[in-house]
Homo-oligomer: A and B are copies of this chain.
Amino acid sequence: MSFFGNVQLAPPVAVFKLSADFRADENPQKINLGVGAYRDDDGKPWVLPVVSKVEKQIASDSSLNHEYLPIKGLPEFCEAATKLALGDSKTISEGRAAGVQTLSGTGALRLAADFLFQTFPAETTVLYSNPTWGNHLDIFKRAGFKNLAPYSYWSGDIKAADISKFVSDLQSAPDRSIILFHSCAHNPTGADPSAEQWNQLAEVVRAKNHFPIFDTAYQGFASGDPDKDAAALRSFADAGFEMMICQSFAKNFGLYNERCGNLVTITQTSQILDNVRSQQELIVRANYSNPPAHGARIVANVLNTPDLASEWRQNIKQMSDRIDLMRNELRGRLEKLGTPGQWNHITDQIGMFSFTGLNPDQCNFLKNERSCYLMSNGRISMAGLNSKNIDYFAQCVDEAVRKIQ
């Protein structure tokens, strides 16, 4: 009799199921618009030239070894990552803001969730955007939170974020709730608040004593400029909030599989920060002891070497520009085809994704009948489009919109 006879087969993770179906499809015109990983104009993964260069340096550097990193990670990485997020914010020089190296963005979110669950009252509400990245809910649930609630965000009517509804949901939430913000390039909608709207959000956060966490997975991808993309982070930090920032280097360094991230915590005093970080260390220790070096070494090297840092910024701009080009090209084609509906949201939206507004039936048609693989909420990864497939995709969208309601 097995110990595991009652264990259920879990449903596959949607975005990976999509990729698996894509791989199995033999249609030469197939397009994968699912997972948010950058692709070049040939539809291929792109290792950033600056990353490739540094990896070769690391491999031939005989002064490096594989001794355990500190539990909180590679110090020069954490400092550089924190500085990338917060710039010259006083919080850093005052010793009130610092980073713990994590397993990419997911790991930062989970460390944040685990720490907050052991620190905040168990019934604390965690608010997440409607819609949001699917894994957000799973992470906070696994950490123990029972009260999770969506805040209004995407409005299908205006095909944009309805910030006034967002603000009122934060207003009606219990005081001292945890609010999961996307600092830029919102996933999946691509709709970001304006600077003014961020100020409105800051006001209600302050009034309600909420605790903000910023998921920062796309810094550099929103505008092509990492500092511009960090505006909301720096604004909240300078306004004196205690907060957390969950940074991922998967996308902006193309280091998806090396799991490189950073959890920044900002507190009122540096003593409190030391206490907080010591508790975060214990959480890390009982999870995986200490983080993996390879990705952090690459990022640290690049960010801390002026020529490499500017080369990196050029690499990011290259990715961001190609995505912008695809946005323009897709919108241009749909408008030229006279596809029913408005299509300005495609160029209004920011970052890796576009929330097309296609409904589940239309999405299924695209997937099953036309080999265009996208998420059933209508999200497409813009990086999956290129000069070779964009005509086909635009035609398919046109067909789907006309044929299916």
In chain A between 101 and 120, which residues have their CB closer than 8 angstroms to a CB of chain B?
102-104, 106-107, 110, 119-120
**Does A165 touch B at the CB level, under 8 Å?**
no
Q: Are A4 and B275 neighbours in the complex by a CB distance under 8 Å?
A: yes
Q: Are B55 and A59 neighbours in the complex by a CB distance under 8 Å?
A: yes
In the assembly, what is the distance between CA of A285 and CA of B136, in Å? 10
- Contact A66/B4 with A13-B281, A13-B285 known, Cβ cut-off 8 Å: no
Choose one: B56, B119, B294; the contact of A60 (CB below 8 Å).
B56
Choose one: B9, B102, B257; the contact of A66 (CB below 8 Å).
B257
Contact stretch, chosen from A138-146, A311-319, A327-335, A396-404: A138-146
**Does A310 touch B at the CB level, under 8 Å?**
no
- In the complex, which range does the number of interface residues on chain A fall in? 35 or more
Q: Are A3 and B119 neighbours in the complex by a CB distance under 8 Å?
A: yes
Number of copies of this kind of chain in the complex = 2
Question: Chain B residues with Cβ under 8 A from A147's Cβ?
Answer: none
Question: Chain B residues with Cβ under 8 A from A301's Cβ?
Answer: none
Q: Are A276 and B7 neighbours in the complex by a CB distance under 8 Å?
A: yes
Shortest Cβ distance from A288 into chain B, in angstroms?
4
Question: Chain B residues with Cβ under 8 A from A254's Cβ?
Answer: 66
Output the nearest chain B residue to A296 by Cβ-Cβ distance. Answer: B257
Choose one: B2, B45, B65, B283; the contact of A242 (CB below 8 Å).
B2
Among A4, A5, A268, A295, find the residue whose CB has the most chain B CB atoms closer than 10 A: A4
Question: Chain B residues with Cβ under 8 A from A288's Cβ?
Answer: 102-104, 106-107, 110, 259, 288
Shortest Cβ distance from A217 into chain B, in angstroms?
11
**Does A24 touch B at the CB level, under 8 Å?**
no
Q: Are A110 and B287 neighbours in the complex by a CB distance under 8 Å?
A: yes
Q: Mark A57-73, 1 if CB is under 8 A from B, else 0.
A: 01110100111111100
Q: Are B4 and A286 neighbours in the complex by a CB distance under 8 Å?
A: no
In the assembly, what is the distance between CA of A157 and CA of B37, in Å? 60
In the assembly, what is the distance between CA of A278 and CA of B11, in Å? 8
Binding site for B on A (CB under 8 A): 1-10, 12-13, 16, 35, 37, 45-47, 51-52, 55-56, 58-60, 62, 65-71, 102-104, 106-107, 110, 119-120, 135, 138-139, 141-142, 176, 211, 242, 250, 254-259, 267-269, 272, 274-276, 278-279, 281-283, 285-295
List 7 A-B pairs, minimum CB-CB distance, nearest first: A103-B288, A59-B59, A294-B294, A10-B278, A257-B293, A106-B289, A292-B292
